[in-house]
Amino acid sequence: RCVRRPLMLGGAPGLSGRWERLEQRPRAGRMLRQVLHAGLRTSFHALGRFVAGHAVFFASAPVLLAILLGASFSRYRVEGDVESLLAPKHSLAKIEGNLVESLFPVNRSKHALYSDLQTPGRYGRVIITARRGSVLDPVHLETILQLHRRIYQMQVTVPAATAGSSGFNYSFSYLCLPDDKNVCIVDDIIRAMEEIQSARTSNRSVPVLHYPITQLADGRQAYIGHQLGGVQGWGPGGAVRPQGTGAKGEGVRSAKAVQLTYYLQSRSGLMDRVAGRWEKAFCAELKLFGASRPKLGLYSATSSSLRTDFQFSSVLARRPLLASLGVCGVLAILCCSMRDCVRSKPWLGMLALLSVALSGLTAAGILNLTGATYNSTYLGIPFVMLGHGLFGSFEMLSSWRRTREDQHVKERVASVFEDVMLRFSGSTMIHLMTLGLAASPLTNMEAVRLFCRNAVLAITISYIYMLSFYSSCLVFTGYLETRYRHGCFCRRVPKPDRLDSKPAWYRCLMYTRYQATTTADPHPQDCHLLLGCVRHCYGDWITNTYVKPFVVLLYLVYISFGLMGFLQVTQGSDPSALVATDTATVLYTHAQHRYFSSYSPVIGFYIYESAPYWNASVQRDLLEYAKGFQRISWLEAYLSYLSDRNQSTSQSRENFTRTLRHSFLHEPQFAHFADDIIFAERGQGEEPDVAASRIFLVAKTTENKREEMSVLLDTLRRLSLTSRVRFLIFNPSFVYLDRYATAVSSPLRHSLLAVLFLLGLSSLVVVEPLVSLWLGLTLLSVQFGVLGFMTLWGVEMDCVSVLCLITALGHSADCSGPLLCGFASGRGESRTRWVHLALERHGIPSLQTLVCYSAALVPICAVRSNLTRTLFRCLTLTAVCSALHTLAFLPTLLTFLPPSKSRDNRPGREGQRQEVECVEMNDSTRVVDQITTV
């Protein structure tokens, strides 16, 4: 403890002495860390002097560079492939999809297509719902068929390539996928509805419509479970009970919705452009048709709807982002203001935001020049830069106010660099390490990798601009303070004797303390409101003996709720959960979940190698695999065909294949199965082999369709490893489901490991190694809390929430790292005293950062987008959890947990203590420190 006593030295009045106890000689490891630490501080001191000596260059160069690179926005491009962003980049489902496309391409299907199975390049899809009654009622049925005819006859005009010539008109009949008779393939429900209408028109008995598999007039069995929704049967309670083995279910009594899909060709660039125009005309036609038919609800979707609605979030967020900057700017100005008009630095708050904006503009210009594309997940990058940049600016301003005012501006800036930049560089390294490892090829999620790659670039430029642009602005405001000019108006402030004759409002506006009166105020920074509150109120309250148990209890409650949410984490693999609300994708998805959730999407069961289908055991295995599913199986139909003709199902290969090719597939009701079988020629005169085939399966599902599909995928894949028949299953949704949890969580695990490794390595540089341990535990605690509370708030684990969790590591390091370093660096005082000092020096900048950062998040919650809603919730939880740890948990726990602040009192050490006398001499010009050893 430092003991002060009056001392007269050389007859000079006003001298004071201070006694301190020197520490014992440190160990070799500690000495090495002290040498490294001192070397880094000396380097930053020299860098600060260099920047202060060339302030004009370092202030103008970033501005000019940002303007030059900002001109590259003419090359701004938007990412067009949403699947590559939101689906795992390397997955077995993508390999299986390529194999399926090579065996059974969409153009090969000449009889029927399943909208949930094939995803061609272009298509238009609409769900039609009846607000009252059933879509099978005569009035609604006629309206639906009328809409179908209008879409079928709809034309789009493409301008001609040469000037002066008229454009070309393309109708659906030209763009559609044709069948074997060169007629457009339409959904089977259209054929069934046309049969019902024809029967009603001719006063014949209406054919029974079965569900989910019905039989058409030509005898063909068709699955309509994904085309007819909200079905009620004639059974008890309106239930539809499908028969266990037959192809028909109970008759349909009513249905609330019908889904129609129109497939388009996109063989070349011209056809793709024409199909794109047709999709826009398709949506416009549905909107016009629905406006004149209020009794029906129309929900459309096209192949480009997901991409358009996903990028629409960034369009909706433009004005809220500007509002965030405005709100944050106002609060930053208030946080930098003081009662003293000379020492107040309101413009530095605005210049800190300007530094962040310039760094963002520079980073965006570099990305545009390198050909990078933009997507809506980049909306989180400005907030990462904002939190890190504000932290650095407030830390530098706080350190500036602790420097001696009689020093030259260059020396004060050098002292600021020496005090702040080591901690700021360390937190920047944590940002770069977490984001950099998540941006590596180890990350299997392209959206996460691109976000982290661009965030690394933005944080790096923000760090450089903080060292150059903002530090130069600090130099300029320092010269204003030295010349006693107003911090806002830059006007010279008169001395107190000249202010006495001025009005009261003028004296209040021009209030300041001249150097002659500085020594009379023991705490010259108390005119800052937040510092005065922390010094006189909050610091004593949070370290009070009676408050500590409640803070510890609050932390236990925090951990309990975090664990509760951690155990309920769910994955969010649905891409429609990341688009703007009230868009076509969201409305269509909600309608599909409401009316078509009884059955899973159509799953393709593909046998991709030649198999002995004529073998009875293989037939039993395949029938067993499909048991329990609604199925459309050529093998099952063929075996029933053989049984009806009193033929054995176990035949030789030649007889089995000959009957299949020349008899079964020539029957009209079974001709469509030709799309499901691929024959491979053998020798001349021999029957070909069945090289590959496919079966369609549909499972009964409940509300959690995606989770059940994920379980079904894993189950059938395990079965394929032990089966004698080589098969795979595929549905386009499997691309998003396959190993999604692993692909999403792996970058988060990599970032955590990177942070722990970096903290372990930094313990070799930090004088007190326990700082790294405390910081690591704090980051894990914040991460655990954000993850748990995020789940309790209804946020699923998707790519956006994982991005927020990765950035939470750096944000929590910004807030809590300086506090821990400030506490651990102190010696010779009590724990409570050093907690107070750490809160005064580093808690205030963290509090100012959190206030401005949280206020900037408020306008984002008004954006009607699922993506921005996830961003708002996760980033808000990050700010709240970081604030709790920085301002409540750590100040309390550090008062009774290591590192210790007591001196070494081991036996034999009392006689080795040394004391020095530090004498401060005050004259009329400046303060001179003289140290005399006693």
Mean pLDDT across 72-90: 85
CA 168, 171, 174 angle in degrees (round to 5)?
95
The closest of 187, 264, 195 to 229, measured between CA atoms, is 187
The closest of 337, 266, 283 to 489, measured between CA atoms, is 337
- Cα dihedral sign, 382-385-391-393: negative
**What is the pLDDT at residue 914?**
40
Please tell me whether residue 921 adopts helix, strand or coil conformation: strand
The closest of 713, 773, 721, 785 to 899, measured between CA atoms, is 773
Indicate whether 890 pLDDT > 90.
yes
Mean pLDDT across 483-507: 76
**What is the pLDDT at residue 527?**
58
The pLDDT tens digits for 746-789 are 888 878 888 888 787 776 666 577 888 888 899 999 999 999 99
Q: Which of 144-148, 224-228, 372-376, 919-923 has the lowest mean pLDDT?
A: 919-923
**What is the pLDDT at residue 29?**
64
- Name the pairing type of β-strands 257-264 and 228-229: antiparallel
CA 766, 391, 846 angle in degrees (round to 5)?
85
Provide, rounded to the nearest whole percent, the portion of the chain with pLDDT above 90. Answer: 43
Tell which wins on pLDDT, 37 or 245: 37
The pLDDT tens digits for 822-872 are 888 777 678 888 899 999 999 999 999 999 999 999 999 999 999 999 999
Contact status, residue 528 vs residue 751, Cβ threshold 8 Å: no
- Cα dihedral sign, 788-794-798-800: negative
| CA dist., res. 716 & res. 724, Å (int) | 14
68-76 contact pairs (CB < 8 A, 24+) = 68/365, 69/361, 69/362, 69/364, 69/365, 69/366, 69/368, 69/369, 70/361, 70/362, 70/364, 70/365, 71/365, 72/365, 72/368, 72/369, 73/364, 73/365, 73/368, 75/368, 75/369, 75/371, 76/368, 76/374
Q: How far is CA 501 from CA 153, 168, 506, 511, in A?
A: 88, 86, 10, 14
Indicate whether 466 pLDDT > 90.
yes
Cis status of the peptide bond prior to 899, with omega within 30 of 0: yes
Which stretches within 626-665 are classed as H helix?
A: 634-644, 653-662
Contact status, residue 736 vs residue 119, Cβ threshold 8 Å: no
Q: What is the pLDDT confidence band of residue 1, given thresholds at 50, 70 and 90?
A: very low
Q: What's the N-to-C CA distance of the chain in angstroms?
A: 17
- Cα dihedral sign, 155-156-160-163: positive
Please tell me whether residue 230 adopts helix, strand or coil conformation: coil
Which stretches within 596-704 are classed as H helix?
A: 616-625, 634-644, 653-662
Contact status, residue 879 vs residue 848, Cβ threshold 8 Å: no
Q: What is the pLDDT confidence band of residue 167, given thresholds at 50, 70 and 90?
A: low
Q: At what angle do helices 471-482 and 55-70 cross, to 10 degrees?
A: 140
Indicate whether 15 pLDDT > 80.
no
Contact status, residue 776 vs residue 761, Cβ threshold 8 Å: no
pTM of the predicted model, to two decimals? 0.85
| CA dist., res. 844 & res. 375, Å (int) | 36
**What is the pLDDT at residue 246?**
44
Question: How many beta carbons lie within 10 A of that of residue 468, not counting itself?
Answer: 20
Domain residue extents for the chain = 1-24+907-934, 25-75+317-567+740-893, 111-314+706-738, 610-698
| CA dist., res. 932 & res. 4, Å (int) | 15
Indicate whether 926 pLDDT > 60.
no
| CA dist., res. 332 & res. 462, Å (int) | 17
Q: Which residues of 800-812 are buried (b: 16+ CB within 10 A; e: fewer)?
A: bbbbbbbbbbbbb
The pLDDT tens digits for 668-698 are 888 888 888 999 888 777 888 899 999 988 8
- Name the pairing type of β-strands 122-130 and 155-158: unpaired
Q: What is the pLDDT confidence band of residue 6, given thresholds at 50, 70 and 90?
A: very low
> Which two structure tokens, joined as six digits, stand for 189?
């429900």
**What is the pLDDT at residue 893?**
92
Indicate whether 472 pLDDT > 90.
yes
Half-sphere exposure (Cβ direction) of 668: Cα atoms closer than 13 Å: 5
Mean pLDDT across 20-39: 66
Contact status, residue 473 vs residue 348, Cβ threshold 8 Å: yes
- Name the pairing type of β-strands 727-730 and 603-607: antiparallel
**What is the pLDDT at residue 920?**
42
